[in-house]
Structure 1
């Protein structure tokens, strides 16, 4: 098969042709629901799951790692806010790249988003099983056997608990976007209450001596932990995937993105300070349900850890729900452009959702959750996220140049300086991820290029007609 010309790979989708009200998706989400989608997709993973893996890398300076990861996310969040207000359609950064950087780069971005969203669903689901065991142990005195609550390589055979939460999220999503958003809002309120409960208990055992050896591994440890913890910020862009289901997308999407990131960062830092103050940092090694363990150590009772574990079960289920939602909308956009099979963009008439896409994505994520260990999943998600966020920072600058007069409800201040800083921070954090993570990423990119040149480039909607873009 002959390779396409370079001009074909660089073809852009005119902004006026992106999305459209004839997509079949229903506009039913307001500012509050959009904000809760982003908070639901973000809040919980870093604190409830990945904290136990990040603290041994940075020591007490994990607090700085959270700030650094959040600061990196802020620059990208500003870029997302501008693009979401200017191009309010489904697809998130994949769609933004289509309009600015060309089809090949957009495909690479979308392929990274598949890694980011799909694998993060599986990673969070793995951590969910840990808190289910905490809850069952505290209430019934039983736990799931290791063979059914851990993947191969972590002492198990198949992680049934992780698979179960993916199927639970699937059931909500098949009901429709509005119904899923309502369920998510309830879950978000529960998770915030659980974190505040932990802070109230944890502060009673706070010891400043735990911060004495603040950065035992120096800057390299802080940056390594920040690279891992960036996994816990991936959800702030989830609202941007709902561009065609928001009632007033241009106004509400930028607000939802900034509001959600600010709320999540504040809670992450607060809980990290209390957690490290309540337990020496070396005691976090090997713990994926560390907050519940700290609460039990401080109170000597089971009731409070049980309540916290219940909050974590609900919190992580919310993350699975909203991130799975985002994944389906990204594939919906890619399918509508012809880059992946049309089955992913078929909308069910009764529910107004891409039902076939939702079923296929849930099956893929459930399989990953059942058989792949958490740590490998979290780092693989981080590198895909950082790559996609870097492209969004570039896309803001490019769109300012090619469409300077188009309507924008939010503008990144000091552009192109702040987008350039955001890009640089994303690249820096990527360099601190492990060689194994880079190997996985490289293999994923090679596979993506094979799929694109084997299928996408020949079925692209732009291959048939590319009218001149308005200036």
Structure 2
């Protein structure tokens, strides 16, 4: 019976992990003396992190054993296709197209073709990595194996920064479009103006915050629900893009 318990440890819900051990599982944070001892080994540990590289066997076999809840495979090929499409062709295409058109003019089509080819190269790289190293860590795990922990750490920080800045920009753009549907003369009327802040930073956007909270809540509710929402939004985006291309060819001015 004890052997079965060791092989199948009791699984806990994600929302029930609020103890000190859950937030600080490392022995380093158990008490002040252990923390001071860990600080004394910082130079050697930093050197190890700079030079250390993970391995395929560790990422595939040993690392998953440290997790209490194994991840379930709930995505089909249909979900993965639209997940890739949504990652490459995001909603940002509807946000920056107008500004890019003012700068690039009619050559915006060529600009999108070049960027699409670059995205295709990135997709091929990720496909090769995913087949060779089928783990849930994504770019972080791939870089840990190929280039080491330090490069993976820098890349993970850049990915987090990109997600924060990108989601903030998309949330603000969504609120601007929503406001323009109500009033075309002032798209900032739903935002809160703070006079004590400098211009350009004095407009608080509660609508954008609500949009991001709703999106994050859906993402946290489960992978399957998020995937369904993703492929619905991706299909809608694909139809809109095709519609814009067709209208552009039909109503376009060849004199440009």
TM-score scaled to structure 1, two decimals? 0.40
Aligned residues: 208
Look up the match of 1:147.
191
From the superposition, tell whether residues 75 and 165 of structure 1 become closer, same or farther in structure 2 (CA, over 3 Å): same
Correspondence 1:160 to 2:201: no
CA contact (8 A) 1:98 1:106 kept: yes
Secondary structure at 1:3 match in 2: helix
Secondary structure of the residue that 1:129 maps to in structure 2?
Answer: helix
C-alpha deviations, 1:85-128, integer Å up to 9, x for none?
Answer: 11111222111011111111111111111122232122222221
Matched, 1:77 2:123: yes
The partner residue of 2:165 within 103, 107, 119 is: 119
Q: Does 1:37 align with 2:83?
A: yes
Q: CA deviation at 1:144?
A: 6.0
Looking at structure 2, the residues matched to 48 and 180 of structure 1 have their Cα atoms a distance apart, in angstroms, of 21
Equivalent in the alignment of 1:194: 240
Match of 1:10 among 51, 60, 69: 51
CA distance in 1, matches of 2:222, 2:190: 35
Q: Which residue of 1 aligns with 2:174?
A: 128
Describe the SS at the equivalent of 1:51. helix
Q: Deviations over 1:103-161 (max 9, x none)?
A: 111111111111222321222222211221233349xx996615349x97448521122
* Deviation (angstroms), 1:29: 0.5
1:64 maps to what in 2? Answer: 110
CA contact (8 A) 1:19 1:90 kept: no
| Alpha-carbon distance between aligned partners in 1 of 2:49 and 2:242, rounded to the nearest angstrom | 53
Structure 1 residue 81: Cα displacement: 1.0
Higher Rg: 2
Over aligned residues, Cα RMSD in angstroms? 3.0
Q: Distance in 2 between matches of 1:132 and 1:73?
A: 30
Q: For the structure 1 residues 209 and 53, does the alpha-carbon distance in structure 2 shift closer, same or farther, using more than 3 Å as the test?
A: same
Deviation at 1:204, TM superposition (A): 4.7
What is the alpha-carbon distance in structure 1 between the residues aligned to residue 160 and residue 201 of structure 2?
28
In the TM superposition, 1:13-412 aligns within 5 A as: 13-19=54-60, 22=65, 23=67, 24=69, 25-137=71-183, 145=189, 147-148=191-192, 153-154=199-200, 157-210=203-256
Q: Say which is worse superposed, 47-56 or 104-113, in terms of deviation.
A: 47-56
- Long gaps (5+) in structure 2: 1-38
The answer to which structure, 1 or 2, has the higher relative contact order (CA under 8 A, 6+ apart) is 1
Runs (5+) with no aligned partner, structure 1: 211-471
**Contact 1:33–1:182 (CA under 8 A) maintained in structure 2:** yes
